[in-house]
Amino acid sequence: MTTATTTPAAMNPSTNPAAAAADGSLYHITSSKVHMTPGTNGAPAKRDGKRPSDALSNEQVVKLLRDMILIREFENRCAQAYQQAKIGGFCHLYIGQEALAVGTINSLNHDDPIITAYRDHGHALARGMSARACMAEMYGKITGCAKGKGGSMHMFDRPNWNFGGHGIVGAQTPVGAGLAFAAKYEAEVINRAVTGPDGKPLPAPWQNPPRVAPKKKVALAYLGDGALNQGALHEGMNLAGLWGIPVIFVVENNRYSMGTAIERGTTMAHDLKQKAVAYGMEGIQIDGMDVLNVYDQFKALVDRCRETSRPAFVDLLTYRYQGHSMSDPQKYRAKDEVESIKQRDSIALLEQHLLTERRCLSEGDVDKIVEECKAIALDAMEFAEASPMPDASELYTDVFANIQPDLSPTANYTLGVKNPLL
């Protein structure tokens, strides 16, 4: 990669028209139009010299491929289940964006917290949620990750430090800042003895459970490009910049907020990194269709944020092949636009790398991985199908830590709180 990850101008086609072509970016955006960079169709991001991903073992890179294929096969089954009316409500598929979640999440430590928006199946699977729990959640079954009460938009997985998918556009971003704040607070403040006005230590603060030396963490707050125009994001970015907390705002820039192209709804769409400048944080743009490129650039950024305890902002260029949700007539884009992006599909790019550059896989091996992932997705569907619905008593739980008397519903709920007079 010749383009320095930290120099905004270098990747900005408007200041450096050659940049997009030179660095192999997926496309460049002018102030009025998004279009493909000529000559880059089908090509991976250009690679020069040593890159961080060169240090990944073959097993690790094959895992990236497997993660992406699993997401795609899983989402194909979701689409099928939705069309069969097995999945209710809304369903936003991740097909096309796989390299983004897989590349960023594999740049993290397991206990770095993440939080995302409603297109969240990919993150959940990449973070290690079982496909069964993920699918069962969408089916509304008790075996789902949130016992079937959250659905497609609410993939929570606390053991894997996934603080969920969130349905209100942009509202998750200040929460992500809070996750980073807590991590930094734990590392820097919580074990510090509190002293009184006389300088003498006060009684030991909270130490339960006993703490080991906490490590530096980075939190990721994912958002779609549509969330760029929500106030909550700007409040979250301002606080993060102001307080210097290690949160990375990851814009999954798939060009469309539902049906509105980014330049129709967002200022500076051709150079989103400028938004980071205003909040005093580093901003970079990354080609998000090539997973190794995502890893190379994003891993370096994560390491910098972890070390310096600073926030950052990433414009990650990606594309969704399907509609915004399952009910999207897609009048806002031409079919050949979708087809042209598919020429540079993230899974195909990585397969090509593994087959021709690393030469660690054969086509037969790839087919085997695809078959395995298909089997996992089908198994998830069958598992979800066979799982029981939540008992009606589940309605009464988890509003508060303890069930409160005299709130409806109660266990004997009929028409309001059960009336002993009737």
Minimum distance from residue 395 beta carbon to another protein (Å): 10
Looking at residue 115, the DSSP 8-state letter turns out to be E
Question: Closest separation between CB of residue 224 and another protein, Å?
Answer: 17
Place of tokens 């809070």: 178
- Nearest approach in angstroms of CB 142 to another protein is 10
> Could you say which of 82, 156, 295, 319 contacts another protein (CB under 8 A)?
156
Choice between 357 and 394, CB closer to another protein: 394
- Candidate list 13, 44, 236, 288; residue touching another protein; CB under 8 A: 236
Q: Which of 46, 149, 333, 342 binds another protein (CB under 8 A)?
A: 149
> Which tokens sit at 273?
């990194």
Instruction: With beta carbons less than 8 A apart as the criterion, state whether 375 and 368 touch.
Output: no
222 binds another protein (CB under 8 A): no
The helices-and-strands tally (H runs, E runs) of the chain is 13, 9
Spacing of C-alpha 335 from chain mean position: 26
The Cα 296–Cα 249 span in angstroms is 17
Q: By CB under 8 A, is residue 281 in contact with another protein?
A: no
Under the binding rule (CB under 8 A), the answer on residue 43 touching another protein is: no
Closer residue to another protein, CB minimum distance, 163 or 222: 163
Site membership for another protein, residue 88 (CB under 8 A)? no
Q: How far is the CB of 259 from another protein (least distance, A)?
A: 23
Judge whether 174 and 240 are in contact, CB under 8 Å: no
Secondary structure of the chain: what % helix, strand, coil (to 5)?
40, 10, 50
Q: Choose which of 21, 79, 239, 378 interacts with another protein (CB under 8 A).
A: 239
Q: Which stretch binds another protein (CB under 8 A): 83-91, 193-201, 327-335, 365-373?
A: 193-201
Which of 127, 166, 270, 344 contacts another protein by CB under 8 A?
166
Out of 38, 197, 199, 210, the only residue in the binding site for another protein (CB under 8 A) is 197
Q: Are 79 and 56 in contact (CB under 8 A)?
A: no
Q: Which is nearer to another protein, 62 or 232 (CB)?
A: 232
Residue whose tokens read 């430090």: 161
| Residue in this structure with the two tokens 């305890």, named with its chain if needed | 309
**What letter would DSSP give residue 42?**
T
For tokens 């508060």, name the residue: 400
| Pattern 361-400, another protein, x by CB under 8 A | ------------------------------------xxxx
Q: Which residues, numbered 102-141, are part of the site for another protein (CB under 8 A)?
A: 113, 115
x/- letters, 167..186, toward another protein (CB under 8 A): xx--x-xxxxxxxxxxx-xx
Give residues with Cβ within 8 angstroms of 139, minimum separation 6.
81, 86, 87, 148, 384, 385, 387
199 Cβ contact list (under 8 Å, min separation 6): none
Q: Does 298 bind another protein (CB under 8 A)?
A: no
Q: Could you say whether residue 411 binds another protein (CB under 8 A)?
A: no
Distance of CA 309 to the CA centre of its chain: 21
Is the distance from CB of 224 to CB of 256 less than 8 angstroms? no
405 binds another protein (CB under 8 A): yes
- Quick one: tokens of 233? 């994001």
Site for another protein contains 85 (CB under 8 A): no
Phi, psi of 220 (to 5 degrees): -110, 130
**Residues that contact another protein, how many (by CB under 8 A):** 62
SS (H, E, C) 284-318: EEEECCCHHHHHHHHHHHHHHHHHHCCCEEEEEEC
Q: Is 226 in the site for another protein (CB under 8 A)?
A: no
Among 158, 264, 359, 368, binds another protein (CB under 8 A): 158
Output the CA torsion sign for 357, 359, 360, 362.
positive
Binding site for another protein (CB under 8 A): 113, 115, 146-147, 149-150, 154, 156, 158, 163-164, 166-168, 171, 173-183, 185-186, 188-192, 194, 196-197, 202-203, 205-206, 231-232, 235-236, 238-239, 242-243, 397-401, 404-407, 416-417, 419-421
